[in-house]
């Protein structure tokens, strides 16, 4: 069913809008279809030409209006912001603005000047809430990003069940401690002959911790640290800095984190920043403690962010986001985008960084409404090229 049919100003063409999600341009003399405008995800309710006939505008139930090149059918601008289906859209006589009407009980006036296509594409990628996962890219025939981390074809069951995402020496994507399926992981890592012994012992310690056996976890983590497995110090330091574990040793925890940092385990910088930011109060009076120290905390966050550690980048994004000025919001976008991009390249579990991606996309849209589409696209491209 057609929503509208309109002649061009010179009477030579007709543009129609249809429930089949397309608009079409026809030769008014012989009825031949000239161009098909495809891109809306729901019915196109209205379509019209610009005064010079070089562009067309469409209004759709998908809550967007779009501007098209009438010669090629290429989409050159998307107008997104209404919260209800659009019933109509029209060019101003000089072609510089678009008026849209929507079922959301509003009409809006838009700048019809089109940004360069590469800027629009860059912004659209930055404003995308959900990235394509590996399986989806495969199904669509898209290549794996050349800079994404690749995994060996033969990871052990222990690597898959108990590896840590922040471990630079892992052989599988890894899981966070709270995501470990304890009985499966303990059994998988029980065979110390599988893979590198120190890595298996480290991962067995993580599995024991997930099962609630903190004494066994400490024993294995201590052994892995003694064998110079560099990421083992992260988990051991975390264990020794949690009052609830009952083995508080803050001086050793700090030393372990600092050693791991020196060995290139960048999450240690974030862990130290978090330790100094939050402080540690012992469960029993008279025990050792760490008093919150924001100067030390942000010094470590800064070091880790410079090394592109995702959690630290996200921490700077949170800090910038507390200021509602446009400059700070753009900075917040950059940090969230950098954190999500780095976590994606390292193949972290999506659950660990999807919120950063959502913040990135939301800020990209908010900044676009403030006229900073080009700045967002430029910043996003720079981040992905780092």
For residue 192, the model assigns a pLDDT of 62
pLDDT score for 305: 97
212 lies in some domain = no
Query: Does one domain contain both 110 and 126?
Result: no
Would 120 be classed as within a structural domain?
yes
Helix (H) or strand (E) holding 36: strand 33-38
pLDDT digits (tens, 9 = 90+) for 257-303: 999 999 999 999 999 999 999 998 875 555 567 899 999 999 999 99
Q: Is residue 261 part of a domain?
A: no
Amino acid 288: pLDDT: 66
Asked if the structure places residue 316 within a domain, the reply is yes
Asked if residue 30 and residue 122 are part of one domain, the reply reads no
Tens of pLDDT along 53-79?
999 999 999 999 999 999 999 888 888
- Calculate the dihedral angle through the C-alpha atoms of 181, 183, 184, 188, rounding to the nearest 10 degrees: 130
Same domain, 34 and 125: no
In a domain, 379, yes or no: yes
Q: What's the pTM value of the predicted model, to 2 decimals?
A: 0.69
The residues of the chain scoring below 50 in pLDDT are 136-140, 142, 324-326
Specify whether 323 is located in the same domain as 370: yes
Same domain, 104 and 121: no
pLDDT at position 140, please? 43
Identify the pLDDT of residue 281: 80
**Residue 76 included in any domain:** yes
Q: Tell whether 322 and 334 lie within a shared domain.
A: yes
Other Cβ atoms less than 10 A from the Cβ of 309: the count is 27
Tokens coding 289: 């403690």
Q: Identify whether residues 97 and 80 lie together within a single domain.
A: yes
Do 7 and 109 lie in one domain? The reply is yes
- The answer to whether position 20 is within a domain reads yes
Q: Is residue 51, in this structure, part of any structural domain at all?
A: yes
CA 375 distance to own-chain centroid: 18
Domain that holds residue 319: 115-144+308-386
Do 37 and 95 reside in the same domain of the chain? Answer: yes
Query: What is the structure's pLDDT at 111?
Result: 86
Q: How many domains does the chain have?
A: 2
Tell me what pLDDT residue 71 has: 93
The Cα 316–Cα 305 span in angstroms is: 8
Lateral strand order in the sheet of 22-27: 2-7, 13-18, 22-27, 33-38
């Amino acid at each position: 069913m057609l929503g509208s049919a309109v002649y061009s100003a010179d009477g030579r063409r007709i543009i129609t809008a249809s429930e089949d999600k397309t608009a079409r341009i026809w030769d008014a003399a012989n009825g031949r279809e000239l161009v098909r405008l495809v891109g809306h995800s729901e019915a196109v309710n209205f379509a019209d030409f610009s005064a010079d006939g070089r562009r067309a505008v469409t209004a759709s139930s998908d809550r967007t209006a779009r501007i098209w090149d009438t010669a090629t059918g290429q989409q050159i601008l998307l107008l997104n912001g209404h919260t209800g289906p659009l019933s109509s859209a029209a060019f101003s006589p000089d072609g510089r603005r678009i008026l849209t009407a929507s079922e959301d009980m509003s009409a809006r006036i838009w700048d019809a000047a089109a940004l360069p296509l590469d800027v629009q594409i860059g912004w659209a990628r930055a404003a995308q809430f959900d990235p394509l996962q590996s399986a989806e890219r495969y199904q669509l025939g898209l290549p794996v990003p050349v800079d994404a981390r690749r995994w060996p074809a033969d990871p052990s069951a222990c690597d898959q069940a108990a590896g840590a995402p922040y471990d630079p020496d892992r052989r599988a994507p890894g899981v966070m401690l709270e995501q470990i399926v304890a009985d499966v992981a303990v059994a998988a890592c029980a065979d110390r002959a599988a893979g590198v012994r120190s890595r298996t012992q480290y991962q067995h310690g993580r599995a024991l911790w997930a099962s609630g056996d903190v004494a066994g976890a400490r024993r294995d983590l201590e052994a892995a640290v003694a064998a110079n497995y560099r990421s083992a110090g992260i988990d051991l330091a975390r264990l020794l800095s949690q009052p609830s574990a009952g083995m508080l040793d803050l001086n050793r925890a700090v030393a372990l984190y600092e050693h791991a940092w020196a060995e290139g385990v960048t999450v240690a910088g974030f862990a130290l920043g978090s330790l100094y930011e939050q402080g540690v109060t012992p469960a029993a009076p008279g025990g050792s403690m760490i008093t919150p120290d924001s100067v030390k905390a942000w010094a470590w966050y800064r070091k880790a962010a410079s090394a592109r550690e995702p959690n630290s980048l996200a921490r700077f994004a949170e800090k910038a986001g507390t200021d509602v000025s446009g400059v700070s919001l753009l900075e917040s976008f950059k940090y969230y985008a950098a954190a999500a991009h780095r976590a994606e390249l390292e193949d972290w579990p999506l659950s660990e960084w999807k919120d950063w991606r959502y913040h990135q996309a939301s800020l990209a849209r908010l900044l676009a409404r403030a006229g900073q589409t080009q700045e967002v696209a430029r910043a996003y491209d720079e981040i992905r090229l780092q």
